[in-house]
């Protein structure tokens, strides 16, 4: 079964709006695990606008499922990940100041840098995934730098789903098959939700993991965490 990792950044955003600890990010993560989430994802950014570095340490000490830290591999981020040693690190090419991740790595343009970072994390016993689009040659480049997995950037699928879901999924199916042919693990994330997740999973059963944050937390405002996790897991059966 494809694992569901919940990104708790938006919980931290709400907490930070008042400067206290409500909602409690750690308690939320523990509740999400209790309700069936198989992983917790965080994406700390330099400005601390949602997840803060302290949150990362606090979560590492208590969660029992897979811990995934994603972010741009700046010097501070690399130090944080090596200190915390999560189960997985996901490298995304979003420099400081961007609102959200909006593209995957073009590996050929960053080969030397990524090879070094991936190697350092793997030497520390951390599984490495890098954020990519669906371009097939880029997947081969990803394999060449030693990454364990790729995470497909799914916003193009999500934005095209309602108009023509078959056309929207086609490049992702091809990318998934190529990733598996290359021996890469396969994750996916960005704008996946209760409307489009089931079809994505049906067409790409090779998925190891999906990481979902914004949509899931929005759904939980209406449904509650327990019911929301139940519905997302049902999409992945």
Beta bridge partners, 186, equal: 150
d(CA 118, CA 137): 19
Helices 25-34/53-60 angle, 10° precision: 40
H or E element at residue 66? strand 66-71
Catalytic residue among 43, 151, 178, 203: 43
Catalytic residue among 33, 50, 151, 190: 190
d(CA 118, CA 24): 32
d(CA 171, CA 203): 11
Is 43 an active-site residue? yes
Is 70 an active-site residue? yes
Catalytic residue among 33, 50, 70, 203: 70
Strand 149-153 vs strand 185-189: parallel, antiparallel, or unpaired?
A: parallel
- For residue 99, give both structure tokens: 């609102």
Best CA proximity match to 174, nearest among 209, 135, 145, 201: 135
What phi-psi label fits residue 9: left (phi over 0), alpha (psi between -120 and 50 degrees) or beta? Answer: alpha
228 three-class SS: helix
d(CA 230, CA 35): 7
Catalytic residues: 43, 70, 190
């Amino acid at each position: 079964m494809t694992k569901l990792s919940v990104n708790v950044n938006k919980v931290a955003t709400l907490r930070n709006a008042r400067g206290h600890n409500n909602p409690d990010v750690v308690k939320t993560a523990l509740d999400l695990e209790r309700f069936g989430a198989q992983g917790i994802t965080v994406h700390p950014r330099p400005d601390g606008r949602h997840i803060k570095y302290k949150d990362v340490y606090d979560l590492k000490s208590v969660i029992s499922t897979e811990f995934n830290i994603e972010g741009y591999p700046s010097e501070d981020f690399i130090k944080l990940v090596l200190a915390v040693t999560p189960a997985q690190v996901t490298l995304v090419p979003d420099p400081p100041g961007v609102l959200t991740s909006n593209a995957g790595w073009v590996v050929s343009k960053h080969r030397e840098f990524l090879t070094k970072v991936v190697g350092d994390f793997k030497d520390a016993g951390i599984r490495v995934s890098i954020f990519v689009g669906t371009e097939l040659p880029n997947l081969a480049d990803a394999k060449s730098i030693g990454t364990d997995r790729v995470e497909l950037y799914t916003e193009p699928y999500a934005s095209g789903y309602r108009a023509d879901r078959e056309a929207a999924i086609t490049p992702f199916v091809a990318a998934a098959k190529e990733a598996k042919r290359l021996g890469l693990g396969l994750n996916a994330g960005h704008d996946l939700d209760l409307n489009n997740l089931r079809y994505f999973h049906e067409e790409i059963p090779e998925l190891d993991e999906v990481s979902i944050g914004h949509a899931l937390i929005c759904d939980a405002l209406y449904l509650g965490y327990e019911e929301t996790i139940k519905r997302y897991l049902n999409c992945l059966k």
